[in-house]
Structure 1
Amino acid sequence: MDKTAVKNYAIWARTKLIEDIKYKASLLGITEKVIADALPQSTTQEQYFDIGTREPYAIRGVHIAQRRSLAEAIKKKAQESDYLTAYNSIIEEVAYTWFNRFIAVRFMEVNDYLPCKIRVLSAVDGRQEPDIVQNPFDAKLDYTSAEEELISQHQMNNEGDKLFNMLFVKVCNDLSKVLPQLFEVEQDYTELLLNISYTDQDGLIYKLVHDIPEDNFDVNAVDEEGKSVGQVEIIGWLYQYYNTELNDTVYDGSYAKKKLSKEWIPAATTIYTPDWVVKYMVENSLGRLWCEGHPESTLLKENWKYYLDEAQQEEAVQAELAKIKEEYAKLRPEDIKVIDPCMGSGHILVYAFDVLMQIYTQVGYTDKDLYWRTIYMVWI
């Protein structure tokens, strides 16, 4: 994985996102100083805002409700601190939300995990225009008649970026059915503040697709020697690098004698765990739990690079350990449950799942059995 490219993009993307979102908010009369009222000529169907140009900025329909929702969110948060802190907090929240979604969609499209079954940020053949923009009706999405009309209108007017924005939001809302926490649709003002482009070579999407090698997202990628270079952990590294500047601010001494507000907690605690550390932890916890009670599981240990055999102990300690192993010997795979109290991106749980599947296989479960067992474990 090209960690330099990943880090450079994540740090730059945070700044770029915040700048773009602040600009979009300013068009709506919302700045770090004030939430301005709409101009007098506004109506219930159309609102206008003074942006210092001859023509005011106009919003219509659902965007009016979204703008109202944004203003209310800032005002409510300001009751906990002050207006500027609340404004910056909401902007940061929206930026982080969209960053998460860009990365998730990029990971899913490279690995063909998207339910819509078409690339959203890029094209399979390397074209600059994403596949979904080129062929929006090939996507497995339920368009309303109004959306179909709007798509056709954008196509006729050569409004590629407007179509791209619309389709990206549509995909995110569709993903909310399967990943509701990441693609929740409750805070609708996040959509209002989105302004992305696939044509801008200095934009977030272009750089995500072109600055970070696609292989870094591909879990099946191999190098010339056949060695796997796929990186399921790239999402975790992107999250950590995104918070680099915030983390530096927390630990540079500025807050040494101050109590951190809750908004700073993620920046202070987001530390990604490298893959080898994950494997060491899981193999010597879950793996040890099983192997100490089932010493016949030698093949499992041979596949675990970071498993450490028990060190020589005094007789008294060995006697106590023998009692523990007797209890472990009674364990069945179905009795084991795993919890990660600091889940983060979840890659510790992903490897724990792999180890569990190895244990199930070792006791005789077939692939068919494992399929249904997996469904059951995910369900509960």
Structure 2
Amino acid sequence: MNKSAIKSFAIWARTKLINEITYKSGLIGITDKGISHPLDSSTDNIQHFNIGTEKPYEIKDREIKQRDAYIKRIKEKEATSDYNTAFNYVIEEIAYTWFNRLIAIRFMEVNDYLPSKTRVISSETKGKTEPDMVTSPFDTDMEFTSEEKDYIISLKHDNRLDELFRFLFIKQCNTLNAVLPELFEKTSDYTELLLTISFTDSDGIVSHLVNDIPEEDFTEAVEIIGWLYQYYNEDRKNQVINIYKGTVKKDDIPAATQLFTTDWVVRYMVDNSLGRYWIERNPNSKLREKLEYLVTPKNQDFKFVDEKITPEELTFFDPCMGSGHILVYAFDLLMEIYREYGYEDRESARLIVEKNLYGVDIDDRASQLAYFAVMMKARSYDRRFLTRNISINLCPILETNNIPKVDISHIQLDLQDTVKEDVNYLLDVFTDAKELGSLITVKPVNFSEIENFMNEFAEHGASNMFDLQWYNSVYSKMPYILKQAKILSNKFTIVCTNPPYMNKIEGQLKKFITKDYKDYSGDLFSVFIYRNFDYTIPNGYLGFMTPFVWMFIKTYEKLREYIINNKSIATLVQMEYSAFEEATVPICSFVLKNGPEKEKGLYIKLSDFKGGMEVQKKKVLEALHDKECKYFYEKSEENFSKIPGSPIAYWVSENFIKVFNKGTSLGKLAISRNGMKTGENQRFLRFWSEVCFVDFNFKAIDSYDALKSNAKWFPYNKTSYKKSMIY
């Protein structure tokens, strides 16, 4: 995979899309300075806008309604910020909507996953720039009205091919809504009005997408979607970090914390959580042979767990799923487990999506891509999967701040009191959910009764003003709220994630963490480590990739003590300090067990191997093939608590630990101090050559002697320099 080309394209594409959409927005009188009224020459069906030329810019009929919807969206956002922030937010929203759809369609056409089998933004014919969809629009699976057919013929006749391309592209997106509704939502709104893509422009986004990234990169793996998304956000991430240099605002948390997890690290986490869980209960499983990154003891044997479990009972949750990379690999592993159990791939794909995989994220656009990635993975195992109308257990987290609390007791249906209480509870618990995300604790409620109430309401309709108020403000949101509540109130066999790294926190998130997770609040990632134990069944596994500071420094001592005393470390890989190129933090990856374990933890220490993640990957594989290498360790975590501060010092010798066990700490013998400190070196210190010897005293033996001498300067050693100190 050519990550350099992917990165260059994604960063460039974001700027290109935002600039073009902003320009188009300006043509209809909406800029970052404000919203202009149409010119006086406008009518109900036609609006004119002054663009500084002799002829004004014109929009008609449906476009006028789309412009009104665009203004409404900006005003909605402005209610919680200011106009300029709202305008830029909505422009960004439109840009990523079309970016997501472009890269999704490119992936589908290259892999021949489009239902129509007709390429949308490129051609099967080598060297042909006109997309096959534009050449033969009536050969696609899209249904056209007679009016639309005439319009297509007219555009082709007049050689207005880019206009035709945009019309067909939007039509294709709306057609794909039938098979991928959570990515290709109906676009008869303002996003359509501001679409500016062109296939004839050699410097346009379509041309660069088709020509800059090799087709084979789209066929290698669906993980290209995740890399495109991360690089698309890179400029914004850098901008956010540079703007705040400290705390990050609510809307910018996704941009500041989104990191795509390196492929081999994903495999390591999933192999040693999901894979290990299955093998411990099925010791004769052939799955072991397919787990390249499974870490086993030197004797190669895991402790057998006498528990029967079927593939359908395995549940796998990513509470910070991003673009779904971890879920996609878990899908492959689950498929191997189902095959071993005798299932056909088609049935397995359905069960994995319906019963095994779960995920949430605060970032709507990342959630869209995670949904797409998992659906494409399922499609790779079942060519008709997209037509089977199978629901998926992934969702963006919806917050309820702007949903008014409507008293449903006035609704004229026979409601149980618990339904009213449960609905109100769900509306309350998801307040600020876009900020708090999956850290929220959601108690199980009577979901089936709420669903029955929703179905009854849909059947009877609104019969009074209270019904209508409920319908307009809450009803349409309840399916999303119920879906995320079901996921977040559940317990899972495996929880595996790359949590956000952020220690400069503000707003409701800071209040929430300080109140509910004070002992673990050194960083957002440490809060997630602690919180995720509660998502996991007893003796289930949790996989993480995080900064490795939690292993050593005092800030995370409570977290270490909690893990050592109540849980256990199954395996851990500590990377070389600067190995992870995607973030400026030293990292580790590890798997924890949700319960104590007498077996020793398995550790790989890569600190001495400088180089990027490919070097780290190579050294991990070497350690797995040669357990006698000097950087593979087996260590019981009970030893860690024998060292003050309980550092995860897995590499220290038994003799080193005995020193702490049998010896006396310096702190019990004497008080250690910082030594002499001036408090203000610029004021109190001088070089020897700067001091007048008349005012200097070499012989003072204590403070009383110094004071008595009336001298101003006295000898003072400062690191490698000898300096004198003012009295």
TM score, norm. by length of structure 1: 0.89
Which residue type is aligned with residue 197 of structure 1? S
| SS at structure 1 position matched to 2:29 | coil
- Asked if structure 1 preserves the Cα contact closer than 8 Å seen for 2:165 and 2:198, the reply is yes
Structure 2 partner of 1:256: 245
The answer to whether the 8 A contact 1:164-1:198 is kept is: yes
Asked if structure 1 preserves the Cα contact closer than 8 Å seen for 2:335 and 2:345, the reply is no
Amino acid at match of 2:268: Y
1:33 aligns with 2:21: no
1:249: how far off?
2.0
Q: 1:69 to 1:307 in 2, by over 3 A?
A: same
The farther-off stretch of 280-289 and 333-342 is 333-342
* Counterpart position of 1:88: 88
Q: Which residue in 1 is equivalent to 2:144?
A: 143
Match of 1:305 in 2: 292
- The alignment status of 1:161 with 2:162, answered yes or no, reads yes
Alpha-carbon deviations, 1:21-52, whole Å to 9, x = none?
A: 00000000001101000011111111110100
Please say if 1:354 is aligned against 2:332. Answer: yes
Query: Does the 8 Å contact 2:312/2:351 carry over to 1?
Result: no
Percent identity of equivalent pairs:
52
Alignment of 1:156-195 (within 5 A): 156-185=157-186, 188-195=189-196
- Within 2, Cα distance between the matches of 1:43 and 1:23? 24
Query: C-alpha distance in 2, partners of 1:194/1:251?
Result: 30
Q: Aligned to 2:185, what secondary structure does the other structure show?
A: coil
Determine the C-alpha separation between the residues in 2 that align with 1:365 and 1:47: 60
Q: Is 1:295 matched up with 2:275?
A: no
Amino acid at match of 2:269: M
CA distance in 2, matches of 1:59, 1:16: 23
Question: What are the equivalent positions in structure 2 for 1:116-155 lying under 5 Å apart?
Answer: 116-126=116-126, 127-155=128-156
Q: Distance in 1 between matches of 2:264 and 2:187?
A: 37
Partner of 1:270: 258
1:208-223 equivalence runs, <5 A: 208-218=209-219
Cα pair 1:118 1:131 within 8 Å, conserved: yes
Give me the whole-angstrom Cα distance separating, in 2, the residues matched to 1:30 and 1:187.
19
* 56-65 or 142-151: bigger deviation: 142-151
| C-alpha spacing 1:375/1:292, structure 2 compared with 1 (3 Å) | closer
For residue 230 of structure 2, what is the aligned residue in structure 1?
A: 240
Q: How far does the alpha carbon of each residue in 1:226-278 deviate from its partner, in whole angstroms, 9 at most, with x for none?
A: xxxx13211100000001111112334x31334x2232122112111121111
**Taking structure 1 as reference, are residues 261 and 367 closer, same or farther at Cα in structure 2, changes over 3 Å only?**
closer
* Residue aligning to 1:223: none
Which residue of structure 2 lines up, in the alignment, with residue 103 of structure 1? 103
Note if 1:286 corresponds to 2:274: yes
Counterpart of 1:72 in structure 2 is 72
Distance in 2 (CA, whole Å) between partners of 1:73 and 1:372 is 37
* SS of residue in 2 equivalent to 1:47: strand
Secondary structure of 1:284's counterpart equals: helix
Query: Which protein has greater RCO, CA pairs closer than 8 Å, 6+ apart?
Result: 1
Say yes or no: does 1:325 pair with 2:305: yes
Write the mapping of 1:13-28 to structure 2, written as runs, cut at 5 A.
13-28=13-28
Over residues 180-217 of structure 1, what are the superposed CA-to-partner deviations in whole Å (9 max), with x where a residue is unaligned?
Answer: 22111267100000011101001000010011111111
Q: Larger Rg: 1 or 2?
A: 2
SS for the counterpart of 2:14 is helix
Which stretches in structure 2 are left out of the alignment for 5+ residues?
356-389, 393-727
CA separation of 1:366 and 1:117: change in aligned 2, threshold 3 A: closer
Query: Aligned partner of 1:244: which letter?
Result: E
Quote the offset at 1:373 in angstroms.
Answer: 4.4
Distance change in 2, residues 1:14/1:236 (3 Å): same
Please tell me the residue identity of whatever aligns with 2:146.
Answer: S
Q: Secondary structure at the match of 2:96?
A: helix
Letter in 1 for 2:191: T
CA distance in 2, matches of 1:139, 1:72: 35
Structure 2 partner of 1:336? 314
CA distance in 1, matches of 2:148, 2:186: 18
Letter of the 1:264 counterpart: D
**1:50 pairs with 2:50:** yes
Code of the residue aligned with 2:226 in structure 1: it is: G
CA distance in structure 2 between the partners assigned to 1:88 and 1:375 by the alignment: 36
Secondary structure of 1:58's aligned partner: strand
Q: Which residue is equivalent to 1:227?
A: none
Q: Kindly indicate whether the alpha-carbon contact (under 8 Å) linking 2:318 and 2:326 is maintained by their aligned counterparts in 1.
A: yes
Instruction: Check whether the contact 2:24–2:194 (CA below 8 A) recurs between aligned residues.
Output: yes
Contact 1:250 1:268 in 2 (8 A): yes
Per mean C-alpha deviation after superposition, the further-off stretch among 149-158 and 301-310 is 301-310
Q: Check the 8 A contact 1:116/1:171 in 2, yes or no.
A: no
Partner AA of 1:309 in structure 2: T
Q: Distance in 1 between matches of 2:45 and 2:241?
A: 48
CA contact (8 A) 1:66 1:192 kept: yes
Shift in CA distance, 210/366, structure 1 to aligned 2, threshold 3 Å = closer
TM-score by length of 2: 0.47
Q: Distance in 2 between the 1:368 and 1:25 partners? A: 46
Q: Which residue of 1 aligns with 2:711?
A: none
Distance in structure 2 (CA, Å) of the matches to 1:177 and 1:262: 33
In structure 2, distance between residues paired with 1:167 and 1:119: 12
Structure 1's unaligned 5+ residue stretches are 219-229
Q: Match of 2:8, as an amino acid?
A: N
- Matched to 1:302, the amino acid is E
Q: Which amino acid aligns with 1:183?
A: F
**Bigger proportion of residues as helix:** 1
Give me the whole-angstrom Cα distance separating, in 2, the residues matched to 1:262 and 1:147: 43
- CA, structure 1 residues 325+143, in 2 after alignment: closer, same or farther (shift >3 Å)? same
Distance in 2 (CA, whole Å) between partners of 1:181 and 1:279 is 27
Structure 2 vs 1, CA of residues 366 and 98 (structure 1 numbering), >3 Å: closer, same or farther?
closer
Q: Give me the whole-angstrom Cα distance separating, in 2, the residues matched to 1:86 and 1:375.
A: 36
Say how many residue pairs are matched.
Answer: 357
* C-alpha displacement of 1:147: 1.1
For residues 33 and 92 of structure 2, the distance between their equivalents in structure 1, rounded to whole angstroms, comes to 16
Q: Distance in 2 between matches of 1:375 and 1:87?
A: 37
- CA drift at 1:374: 5.5
Residue deviations 1:85-134, cap 9 Å, x none?
01000001100111111100000000011122200000001200000000
C-alpha distance in 2 between matches for 1:248 and 1:57: 36
What's the secondary structure of 2:316's corresponding residue? coil
Q: For residue 275 of structure 1, what is the amino acid of its counterpart? A: D
Deviates more, 1:362-371 or 1:17-26: 362-371
SS at match of 1:53: coil
Deviation of the 1:347 alpha carbon: 2.5
Distance change in 2, residues 1:70/1:335 (3 Å)? same
